[in-house]
Structure 1
Amino acid sequence: MQVWRVHENGEPGEVMRLEEADTPTPGEGQLLLKVRAANINFPDALLCRGQYQIRPPLPFTPGVEICGETEDGRRVIANPALPHGGFAEYALADEAALLPAPDALDDAEAAALHIGYQTGWFGLHRRAHLQAGETLLVHAAAGGVGSAAVQLGKAAGARVIGVVGGADKVRVADELGCDVVIDRRTDDVIAAVKDATGGRGADVIYDPVGGDAYKQSTKVVAFEGRILVVGFASGAIPAPALNHALVKNYAIVGLHWGLYNTKDPASIRACHDELTRLAAEGVVKPLISERVPLKDAAAAVQRVADGVTTGRLAVIPEGARA
């Protein structure tokens, strides 16, 4: 089979190599899946760089989110078991963690309903307790993680402010349904948020960026607001001033979605059932901005790493339909 492998850590476009290899053999509790679509996530870039919290042995295949097909023909969503990731014609996954792919979505969309949307749902509902009528601010609102949070926020009845970088991303965020869109490249984010909220600020702030985005969040969080820390795509991990959180009376809330797999696995399936319902009703629909052939996966991962994409990029092996 064709498979991308990383033999040394570095930038994805430099260290990912397309190779021919034997189809992997499932271990105990695993299944072999034919990859129908593998979506690119920022953690794939971090895996290549050796900067992710999980460091699989070299060589490994990145690709942490797929829609695949079992040997008995079931269409499923999975997080592949590294080192046999999703940027290949076949991947391995733990059988107990497989989820049925929603009929309302194609393969690329179904794969994208997993990590980003589960992160958004757990973050907004389980951790930040977003309420209808509240104001939700989403950083990187046109990206894969941010676009999911925008749709889920609207589904929850929130007023959504999207912060993006560039005119193209402004258009995407507007099409996603943001009530207000702020271009951080041309607008004063802090002033714009205060203007949009009458000076009150945002009740919940969804931050997958860190760095300057987090600093802006502390300036525009409302009384009893919640800053939801989802990731650090900027590469800069902020050091919160806890005295500021005390004085302004806001909460800093962390989310590590992967922990639910071990601490409360039943909640993953319950969340998936809810997301499947929302997809069937047309309330959420993952934004797939591009479908690329397997041979172009390394360049596509690099573009995600560089922050120049919108929505999700999906890698489609030859012969698969997505």
Structure 2
Amino acid sequence: MKAVLCVEHGPPEKLVVRDVPTPEPGRGQVRISVKAVGVNFPDTLIIQNLYQFKPALPFSPGGECAGVVSAVGEGVADIAVGDEVIAMTGHGAMAEEVIANRGQIVKMAPGMPFDVAAGFTMTYGTSHHALKQRGALKPGETLLVLGAAGGVGLTAVELGKVMGAKVIAAASSDEKLALCREMGADEVINYATEDLKERIKALTNGRGVDVIYDPVGDRYAEPSFRGIAWNGRYLVIGFAAGAIPALPLNLPLIKGASIVGVFWGAFTQAEPALHQQNMEELLRWYAEGKLKPHVSRHFALDEGADAIRWMMDRKALGKIVLTV
């Protein structure tokens, strides 16, 4: 079978495409014939050995995929060959066949396209866990989403509206903000041309925002935090803009605010039952038409390196996927 491989750490241009043996599932595992692979920001980190998880070389990137079960290992009774499934693998999905543990798999919603399914779990899963469990977002509250046109950011905009919040989307271009409007954002901020702190103040009549969803970090963290409301929650998702920010700790003190870490991958392992409940709710919302995943670009499996470069250069609007 064909796979995209990281044989030495570095930029995506070092990735290679090679034929490798087709894997066989062990106990509690299934093998999936991959139809589509979601590309995510962690893929840009894992190939550079900068991510929290550090698989041994060589490995295939790709943390999520959708496909058809092609083989079932011993001890798996509720998944059968031919089932259409989504798998959250962490890495290894950029291949024609992938092995997944039973706990990493959910069945696709009826009629769900493979490309939509492949990009569903990590982005919606991260944002749902962040807003529901970590941010305790309530109807009527105001949510600020930074990097709002990216993979996780756009799902946070959608989910914020589903959960009854007023959503302010912040991004770096008018094109990105137009997409955020289409996905339900009530207000927008172009932080490339506008003063982020002052715009938050203006849009909230000086009150501030209740929850900040930040996958960007860097120089955007402090001005957004200065716009947080009393008892606000600042959700640390990631650092796509580069630098890990250092916030003055007097800021959460004077606002009675919380800085809350969000590590969805660890959550799925530490609290698998709650994770399954989250996925069931997300798939139900999708089936009910409340969620409309936005896939902006498709790449072929052979173009895996190009897809990761596209993500690394922050060109993605919503999701990008590999089709197999």
Tell me the TM-score normalised to structure 2 length: 0.94
Q: 2:279 aligns with which of 272, 279, 283?
A: 272
Q: How many residues align?
A: 314
Q: How does 1:1-322 map to 2 (within 5 A)?
A: 1-12=1-12, 14-71=13-70, 72-80=81-89, 82=91, 85-317=92-324
**Runs of 4+, deviation exceeding 4 Å:** none
SS at 1:213's partner residue? Answer: helix
Cα pair 1:104 1:279 within 8 Å, conserved: no
Distance in 2 between residues matched to 1:105 and 1:177, nearest whole Å: 22
Cα pair 1:3 1:20 within 8 Å, conserved: yes
Cα pair 2:140 2:166 within 8 Å, conserved: yes
Cα pair 2:66 2:85 within 8 Å, conserved: yes
Q: Give 1:220 shift.
A: 0.6
Q: Give 1:258 shift.
A: 1.8
Distance in 2 between residues matched to 1:212 and 1:81, nearest whole Å: 29
SS at 2:18's partner residue? Answer: strand
Cα pair 1:81 1:92 within 8 Å, conserved: no
Structure 1 equivalent of residue 73 of structure 2: none
Tell me the TM-score normalised to structure 1 length: 0.94
SS at 1:49's partner residue? Answer: coil
Q: Give 1:96 shift.
A: 2.7
Distance in 2 between residues matched to 1:164 and 1:105, nearest whole Å: 29
Distance in 2 between residues matched to 1:43 and 1:124, nearest whole Å: 20
Q: Give 1:104 shift.
A: 4.6
Distance in 1 between residues matched to 2:194 and 2:316, nearest whole Å: 20
SS at 1:148's partner residue? Answer: helix
Whichever residue aligns with residue 116 of structure 2, its letter is E
Question: How much identity, in percent, do the aligned residues show?
Answer: 39
Structure 2 equivalent of residue 320 of structure 1: none
Structure 1 equivalent of residue 78 of structure 2: none
Whichever residue aligns with residue 5 of structure 1, its letter is L
Query: Per-residue CA shift, 1:206-245, capped at 9, x if unaligned?
Result: 0011111211221111111110111111221122322221
Q: What CA RMSD, in Å, does the superposition of the two structures yield over aligned residues?
A: 1.3
Q: Give 1:189 shift.
A: 1.4
Distance in 2 between residues matched to 1:145 and 1:106, nearest whole Å: 19
Moved more, 50-59 or 186-195: 186-195
Distance in 2 between residues matched to 1:151 and 1:104, nearest whole Å: 21
SS at 1:232's partner residue? Answer: coil
SS at 1:70's partner residue? Answer: strand
Cα pair 1:47 1:62 within 8 Å, conserved: yes
Query: Per-residue CA shift, 1:83-140, capped at 9, x if unaligned?
Result: xx11111111112321011125211111222111111111111111101111000001
Query: Per-residue CA shift, 1:33-59, capped at 9, x if unaligned?
Result: 100110100001101111001111111
Name stretches of at least 5 consecutive residues in structure 1 with no aligned partner. Answer: 318-322
Cα pair 2:119 2:320 within 8 Å, conserved: no
Distance in 1 between residues matched to 2:103 and 2:160, nearest whole Å: 30
Query: Per-residue CA shift, 1:134-161, capped at 9, x if unaligned?
Result: 1000001111000110100000110000
Cα pair 1:113 1:275 within 8 Å, conserved: no
Cα pair 2:47 2:61 within 8 Å, conserved: yes
Cα pair 1:40 1:315 within 8 Å, conserved: yes
Q: Give 1:164 shift.
A: 0.7
Moved more, 126-135 or 183-192: 183-192
